[in-house]
């Protein structure tokens, strides 16, 4: 009875903290370019001769200058994954919500979703429903949250199950009706979103992430750091069952080192692992240069960009990465408050915030509503507030593509006069050739960030300070 009462109380609190709040609108400057995962936008009414260098560099190969509407369409097409509630209990627990603790897992899911969008649909793809998204601070959302709060309180006082939420149900039904006419391009998009549903059967859903986390000593309800999530994502991609996903793999760097031969090996695949041709040239902005016996690789690089705070010398590096079209973003955030960084303007990061509690959506239905999986409102945060522990993500389509990526990133990673060390490095050969972990158990070789409780070394984030 005590556990049941605690669960009801937490549900009420989550409704208040993560749903029933008006968020101020994000302000953008008209005098500076906005970079969003390799795309450059400018919000000036007319094109200005004083185009900044950041936009010029981003538009060397093709014209990517856009206006506010283009930015809204692009941002609204990214997959948004937030706190949810009322889904089936998570593995190893009775929790039916990830409010308050699952934000880093959600950020990791968003990064993986962006990699899959690149892989199957290309960077130029946009969702036809992106411009019809409703702002989160409208009366519809807050009224819904308020009614849910009242229903939960009444249910708690009566010690009986609360009534279903008619407002949310009506909104979801209306959403699927509105979307029916705008999803001529959304067949595979809908399939991709369903892979991230909050059910045990979803390939990359929260239940799968938590199950994989259990093998690393992490349980539902605990804090997950960006390095832990990187390894969870790798395992999730490796274990994916859908034949469409046979043509993609994942690699996680070791101790801030990317071993080139290991990435090349990840690109290789047998003929039996070929991915069905679900990508058409009309959907793919980047012609597939991969040979039939190769796989794409999601490259994840956990790093620490300073001690207690992020070293300002790395701000420009993060900007450079987010200006690349093969960058799939950064998972990090503020201390103990994760988010998914997708761009920047001036000295502020642009991010997608998972700290918004939404109701469970059954993605097993053929026409489930897509609106709640796309974010209508970007947020900004000063670089100075960025936690130093984060994970960079990159998408490499083929071994040839990786050679280009390695060359470009190596140039960007060259230490400046102020920096003593690069954020990470590329090294020829395999990680095993360096025998850095010969004395470690297999688990610790694969997940060196897991702290041994028998040791007294201090830790910051996912990293041991030596």
Provide the pLDDT for residue 45.
Answer: 60
Report in angstroms the alpha-carbon separations of 117 from 96, 188, 198.
Answer: 28, 10, 19
Q: What distance, in Å, lies between the first and last C-alpha atoms of the chain? A: 46
Q: Of 329, 271, 270, which Cα lies nearest the Cα of 300?
A: 329
Point out the catalytic residue in the list 74, 198, 325, 353: 353
Distance CA 180, CA 174 (A): 10
Looking at residue 274, what is its pLDDT?
Answer: 43
Q: What's the CA gap between 235 and 216, in Å, rounded?
A: 11
Which two tokens mark 60?
């060397």
Residue of 40, 55, 103, 357 marked catalytic: 103
Which pLDDT value is given to residue 130?
92
The pLDDT, as a whole number, for residue 26 is: 85
- The CB density around residue 245, as the number of other CB atoms within 10 Å, is 22
Output the pLDDT for position 434.
79
Query: Rounded to an integer, what distance in angstroms lies between the CA atom of residue 159 and that of residue 454?
Result: 44
Q: Could you give phi then psi for residue 330, rounded to 5 degrees?
A: -135, 130
- At 390 the pLDDT is 97
Catalytic site residue from 207, 231, 355, 374: 355
pTM: 0.79
Establish whether 14 is a catalytic residue. Answer: no
Mind giving me the DSSP string for 34-95?
A: EEETTEEE---SS--TT--HHHHHHTSSS-----HHHHHHHHHHSB----EESPPPPTTS--
Nearest CA to 302 out of 263, 338, 340, 252 is that of: 252
Which residues does the chain have with pLDDT short of 70?
Answer: 1-24, 45-66, 136-186, 269-293, 416-419, 435-466
What is the number of other CB atoms lying within 10 angstroms of the CB of residue 146?
A: 16
d(Cα 81, Cα 64) in Å, to the nearest integer?
27
Secondary structure letter of residue 23 according to DSSP? P
Q: What is the pLDDT of residues 20-37, one digit of tens each?
A: 444 567 889 888 999 999
């Amino acid at each position: 009875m005590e556990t049941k009462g605690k669960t009801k109380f937490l549900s009420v609190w989550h409704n208040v903290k993560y749903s029933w709040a008006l968020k101020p609108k994000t302000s953008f400057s008209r005098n500076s370019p906005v970079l969003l995962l390799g795309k450059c936008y400018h919000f000036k009414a007319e094109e200005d001769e004083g185009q900044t260098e950041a936009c010029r560099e981003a538009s060397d190969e093709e014209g990517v200058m856009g206006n506010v509407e283009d930015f809204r369409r692009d941002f609204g097409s990214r997959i948004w994954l937030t706190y949810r509630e009322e889904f089936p209990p998570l593995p190893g627990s009775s929790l039916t919500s990830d409010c308050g603790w699952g934000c880093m897992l959600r950020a990791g899911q968003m990064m993986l979703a962006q990699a899959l969008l690149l892989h199957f649909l290309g960077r130029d793809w946009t969702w036809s429903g992106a411009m019809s998204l409703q702002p989160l601070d409208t009366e519809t959302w807050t009224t819904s949250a308020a009614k849910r709060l009242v229903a939960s309180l009444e249910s708690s006082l009566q010690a009986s199950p609360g009534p279903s939420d008619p407002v949310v149900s009506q909104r979801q039904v209306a959403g699927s009706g509105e979307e029916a006419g705008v999803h001529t391009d959304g067949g595979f998009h809908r399939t991709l979103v369903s892979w991230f549903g909050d059910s045990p059967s979803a390939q990359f859903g929260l239940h799968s992430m938590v199950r994989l986390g259990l093998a690393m000593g992490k349980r539902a309800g605990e804090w997950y750091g960006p390095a832990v999530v990187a390894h969870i994502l790798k395992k999730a991609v490796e274990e994916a069952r859908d034949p469409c996903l046979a043509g993609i793999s994942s690699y996680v760097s070791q101790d801030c080192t990317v071993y080139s031969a290991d990435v090349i090996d990840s690109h290789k695949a047998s003929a039996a692992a070929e991915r069905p041709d679900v990508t058409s040239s009309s959907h793919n902005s980047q012609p597939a240069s991969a040979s039939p016996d190769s796989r794409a690789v999601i490259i994840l690089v956990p790093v620490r960009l300073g001690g207690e705070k992020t070293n300002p010398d790395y701000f420009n590096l993060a900007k450079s990465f987010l200006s690349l079209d093969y960058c799939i973003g950064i998972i990090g955030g503020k201390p103990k408050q994760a988010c998914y960084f997708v761009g920047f303007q001036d000295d502020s990061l642009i991010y997608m915030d998972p700290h918004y509690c939404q109701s469970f959506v059954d993605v097993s239905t053929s026409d489930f509503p897509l609106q709640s999986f796309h974010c209508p409102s970007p947020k900004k945060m000063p670089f100075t507030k960025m936690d130093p522990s984060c994970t960079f993500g990159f998408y490499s389509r083929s071994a040839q593509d990786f050679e280009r990526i390695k060359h470009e990133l190596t140039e960007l990673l060259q230490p400046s006069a102020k920096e003593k060390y690069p954020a990470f490095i590329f090294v020829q050969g395999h990680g095993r050739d360096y025998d850095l972990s010969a004395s470690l158990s297999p688990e610790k070789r694969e997940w060196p960030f897991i702290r041994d409780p028998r040791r007294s070394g201090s830790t910051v984030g996912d990293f041991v300070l030596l």
